[in-house]
Chain A
Amino acid sequence: MKPLFESEVFVRIAAPVAVGVVLFAVWEIGFRLTSVPVYLFPKPSDIFTSFLQHGPSLFRALLVTLRVTLQAFVAAVILGTLIAFMFVQSRAIEVGLFPYAVLLQVTPVVAIAPLIIILVKNTQLSLTICATMVALFPIISNTTLGLRSVDPGLANFFRMNRASRFKTLVKLRIPGALPYFFGGLRISSGLALIGAVVAEFVAGTGGRSSGLAYEILDAGFSLDIPRMFAALFLITLTGVVLFGVMVALSQLALSNWHDSETRAEA
């Protein structure tokens, strides 16, 4: 039995927490000593007070942003996977459509968000569309790559046994694509959040939003800098949690066989 502080789990949790505590302590103490005014840069304690003060409204805003993020993420996963399946069915489809998928990726969401917000009446829907556009590409490219990266030996075995196209897809291509797909999920979940927040900013400047981005804008207008930081922290925290969930999902699905998720054995 190893002592607690040497165990893998303990180190993985304790190390980042310790770094965080030190950072916050330096921040708090440093700013207390130099007495920087709150309206320029708040101390952690100011942000915490603001959290308590604006808790309900911040939490409501978080739910709005989270809803857009999750809707966009789910839409991106479904759409992206379907498109990837289409791509691997025929080379012609892929060659024909891939440049447009890239186009979607390289267009800055801030640039087209106003257009979409004008075109789509429902704010919630328009925000979801913007965020989906941002989150879509990693799913398409990763899943396509995964579906194409078939072990040649296994592919040969399937061919020799005259496996049907459907069986080859279900038994060989899809399981083989999973590691790539989960890689896509990790990137895409973060992008869905970024897309949602950016779209909210654009919509917020038009006064048609209520998410965390709007909280930041609103706090900025009233120079309530601690509230701005509080909203920012919530966004960051959401991103970290989303990433953590994706890592856990991928571990759950791949830990038995894929090198990226297998733990070293004694």
Chain B
Amino acid sequence: MTALLPVEPLGEKARQMTPGCGQPPAVEVLSAEKVFANGARGLAPIDLSVADGEFLTLIGPSGCGKSTLLKLIANLIEPSDGRLLWWRGDFAQVGREGRRLAFVFQEPTLMPWARVEANVRLPLEFANMPRGTADPKVADAIARVGLSAFNRHFPRQLSGGMKMRVSIARALVTSPNLLLMDEPFGALDEFTRNKLDDDLVNLSWERKLTTVFVTHSIYEAVFLSTRIIVMAANPGRIFRTMTIDHPQPRDQGFRDSPKFAAYCRELSTWLAEASIQSAMGDGS
């Protein structure tokens, strides 16, 4: 069906990887590679297509380039070779309006001197949105992460998990069409992390958000994703791809199911293989 759409030709590999049809893919990475200034090969040429509304997770041993790939997708760094398309356009064509990105990092990076609502409003202030238009959006974003009762609080009055929720609300407030998360819950305890995963999986499903997520946690990857990319290092490359075939929204029932355990076991095996491969390099 993709072939019926009047589009410029795509790399064959990227087309094959596109799961689901109908919508144009949100992001296409066309044999993009990254060689750093010091000559280190961060990423071997990578082909990857992220479908619209997909929850894609990047996982792999350290140094496998997951964060580099995320930054490429965010257009924070330029590929040394190859190109990236967002909704079938390059950066110049799509522009900032068509490609509304939001980031969430491992640290909540909130302004300690500002209340929750002011922190969430910040991206709208960057866009010079008037208060009247911004306020309902801010209230809505805070409500979505379940912090309406805390909108007048300061960050230091909140727990680590709540700060992360504020950070997510700040990402959602701009109604992004691409959410990029770099190990957002890595510093939280497992209980809090599960709770936030529960909410995130439903939030992204409700909003049909395209999400690219980087994590070190096998359980988190399986629970959240529609697709998992396992990466290997030396140089950073895609090792294997796993599709998680379970309907969204998901809940604790999925975590308790034998299917979940089976996915986790397989992913764990793949990761072990990926790290052996990383140690050996790709032979080139």
The answer to whether A160 has its CB under 8 Å from any CB of chain B is yes
* Interchain CB contact under 8 A, A153 and B125: no
- Given known A-B contacts A153-B105, A171-B125, A178 and B113 have beta carbons under 8 A apart: yes
Check: A172 CB closer than 8 A to any chain B CB. Answer: yes
Q: Nearest Cβ in chain A — how far from B196, in angstroms?
A: 19
For A153, what are the chain B residues with a Cβ–Cβ distance below 8 Å?
105, 107, 109
Q: What separation, in Å, do the CA atoms of A196 and B81 have in the docked complex?
A: 67
Q: Does A175 contact B (CB under 8 A)?
A: yes
Q: Is the CB of B156 within 8 A of A262?
A: yes
Q: Is the CB of A154 within 8 A of B111?
A: yes
Select B126's contact among A162, A257, A262, beta carbons within 8 Å. Answer: A162
How far is the CB of B11 from the nearest CB of chain A, in Å? 28
Q: How many B residues touch A, CB cutoff 8 Å?
A: 17
Residue-wise, chain A 149-189 has the 8 Å CB interface mask toward B (1 for contact) of: 00101101100111110010001100110100000000000
Query: Using a Cβ–Cβ cut-off of 8 Å, how many residues does chain A contribute to the interface with B?
Result: 20
Residues of B near A163 (CB, < 8 A) are 126
A258 within 8 A of B: yes
Residues of B near A156 (CB, < 8 A) are 105, 109
B256 to chain A, nearest CB (A): 36
From residue B142, how far is it (CB to closest CB) to chain A in Å?
A: 18
Would you call B150 an interface residue if the criterion is a C-beta within 8 Å of the partner chain's C-beta atoms? no
Residues of B within 8 A of A (CB): 74, 76, 103, 105, 107, 109, 111-114, 122-123, 125-126, 154-156
Q: Can you list 5 A-B pairs, Cβ within 8 angstroms, ordered by A?
A: A153-B105, A154-B109, A156-B105, A160-B76, A258-B112
Closest 9 A/B residue pairs (Cβ): A153-B109, A257-B112, A175-B113, A257-B113, A161-B126, A153-B107, A157-B109, A163-B126, A256-B154
- For the A-B complex with A154-B111, A157-B109 known, give 6 more contacts whose Cβ atoms are closer than 8 Å: A151-B109, A156-B105, A157-B103, A161-B122, A176-B113, A257-B156
- Which residues of A does B touch, CB under 8 Å? 151, 153-154, 156-157, 160-164, 167, 171-172, 175-176, 178, 256-258, 262
